[in-house]
Structure 1
Amino acid sequence: MPTDESESDNDVDESGTAPPTEALKGPMQGALGVVADQASAVPPTPPSCPGVDPAPLLARIADLEAALATAQSGVDVIELSDQRALQDVGIYRYHHPLESAAAYKDRLRSLDDQIDDVIKSGHAILAADMFTFSGSLARGRKLVGDLSKLMLRAYNAEADNCVRSLRSGNVRTAKKRLESAVAAIEKLGAIMEMRINPDYHALRVAELELTADFQMKVQEERERAREERHLLREQRRAEQELAAEKERLEKERAHYISVLESLRVKGDDAAVTELSRRLADIEKAIEANDYRLANIRAGYVYVISNIGAFGPNIVKIGMTRRLEPMDRVRELGDASVPFRYDVHALFFSEDAVTLESDLHKAFADRRVNFVNQRREFFFATPSEVRALLADRVGGLLEFTEEPVALEYFQSRNRWPQQS
């Protein structure tokens, strides 16, 4: 029979289906009602006080509970509104601050393992161990076990649905939905003292928070990458303009030099003096243009290695202004070496020229090629470069210590044996 609650707007979500916590109420309430009729345990009746009418007290308690619920609802609305207002102006409060989206993915994988372990251990949901059904303890335990699985399945369905529909701005709403599921299960399973383990619930709440943080971090990294590409495009445009200006100035210089030689042959000293002054101005303009062209500084500093080509503990430290820096790494590993390079770090810097130079100076005594300074290979481990990078940029980086070298390791076992 439908009740007033079943007609409320909260019973059906936007897709037209009942949320898991509501869906379990109908059939589970009926099943638990039958259980309650046949169970041996009888809930205790509250003690009575002679001469005292409990009705006014109960009414007062109900009024206070309603007032408390209203006040709490108002606080929730205010906090949620404040949170959204902060996000509207670009402020997001991370629940678990980490350095990168990759770090959040690792943390979420670890959390998934913890959740699986709790479920496998049978401790995700708690219930009475001495419940009897139709006078049988064994049947009671079986019933408790079956209903526990059903309740846990409903809770996990709600938790998974919250994760799938999660956005960074509705974390609090998702938490409230999950808490409502906990309350519904505890209410429906009261006769069996059935409830979600608080520790397990805390793991699922942490999953919501980490997922929201991960989504925001991905968005931030995309925005940062977009800004970096924009900066590189602007610098590329500046390089093209400076190169075109240099070409114009060099043509003008060549023209003046040719005219100057003709004037000297004619003996026109006044014209030679004037033209020499203008030629000096052009030389200064070319020098200034060359300086500007050489000091466009933003780009990516990369740390790569190729264990199959050069062996362990040799890294290449370079810099590229490419909009897609991996294009440069792929070019380096195309045909000149037998295996692709492994990328240990790819770090964007507004002054990549200086950062690259600092790293080269720090490992100057470990160069592989001391004759050609443009060969940027060094005897160093990735961890040594990481420590120096962290010191230069003031924080930990997303860094891969060990090379993957998949092609190398797959090929090595098939090489002919060397005598």
Structure 2
Amino acid sequence: MGMMDWFTGGKDKKEIERLTKELELIQLTKEELEYLDVKRELEAIREQFTQEQQQIEEDTKKQRTQLEKELKKERDAFDRHVKFERKAVDKEIKKKQNTILAETKKSQDEVAANTARLVELKQLIGEYDDKYLMQQHGLYEPSYEFDTSSAYKNMLDRIRSEQKDMIRSKVATSHPEQYMVDNDKKKGKEFVLDTIKLSLRAFNNECDVIIAGVKPTNIEKSADKINKAFDQINSLTDMQKISIRKEYLRAKLRELHLKHEFEMKKQAEKEEQQEIKGRMREEARVLKEIENARKKVEKEELHFRSAVTSVRAKLEEADDSEKQALLAKLAELEAKLAEVESIKDDIENREKNTRAGYVYVISNIGSFGEHVYKIGMTRRLEPLDRIRELGSASVPFTFDIHAMVFSEDAPTLENKLHHRFATERVNQVNLRKEFFKVEIEQIAKVIKEEFDETLEITLAAQAEDYHRTLQLREAAVSSV
């Protein structure tokens, strides 16, 4: 019998196993009970923690609500303060803006006024510069603009008559009504009259000399001389309280300008008459040239008509062997007759159309320098004759031809070219001088625009005599 059997008093083995299991269950329950106690304790702690957490959340929520109320109150107070400050700042800014706008407007008005004044001063300076430049180059701006020299002469006589009337009526001078010499009024009056005569005579003599010698280059200096004579003579009679009046001085200055313009107008009329005579001579040459050409072509026409008639008469009587040669001769004569008739028609057209002619562009580097061109026109049947005349003894070298344009209305084409290059005129006073300082490419462009795009224009000047002369001078210098 085993140990276990002895210990149990012989109980059944199965019973022992059952009891063992129950013991194990009793032990497990005890542990579970301990676990449940711990679990309940933990749940109590958790519940307490949850309650405390809820309390904290409620307290926090209340504090947050209170803080938000206080923050809103502070923010509202701040916003009111900011709004107040902003109004004050905006008011100050607006005040400063208004001040700045007022100052800006004032400155703009001053700038506008100064700009207008500057423009006015520039115009005045420009006018004075122009006048000075004109005087320096012998030019003159007219004070009067009469059409004829006779009108200037009439006005000149009128001003001189006015001066005489001023002297007669004793308003040319300022002088005392009563003057005493040795306590004698009569002697005083004679003294005053004699002094007036001497003053006016001296002044008039000075003015006559100055006015007689006036030129475009000394017009302003002449006026200064008259003013100086006026001051000097008046200073000599200052103690007697006798002086030439400024009205009389102005009359003399008017006479000076009128005399100058009168002489200029006479010279212009003289040049115009010379030009008219030149045009008449040119027209006479053209008419004579046309007449000679017509006589020549009519003579040739008559010759060819007679020859054609003669050949046609021979054809009627000729046999077959001669007809071929006669027909060839007839065709040749008829062709020449048609050519002559065409030339005759051209001549008759040129005779009827007084505006038909050639517009030419020529240069003379040796005489006038580079980029200076004469733009003119001629009605000659042979325009080169006119160019040869221009290059005669009056200039040291012959002209080079850049363009020779035939036009049915040559004066209009010439005027268009003159108008387009008006500011480039070499002589801005005498517009009858047809020389222009301009690039030849510009002239070519205008001619092609106004006349014919396909027209060939010679851009480079040969100037053979001029360049040969330069070579000879260089050779002479080199040999020294």
> Larger Rg: 1 or 2?
2
Higher relative contact order, structure no. (Cα contacts within 8 Å, ≥ 6 residues apart)? 1
Q: TM-score, normalised by structure 1?
A: 0.49
Q: TM-score, normalised by structure 2?
A: 0.43
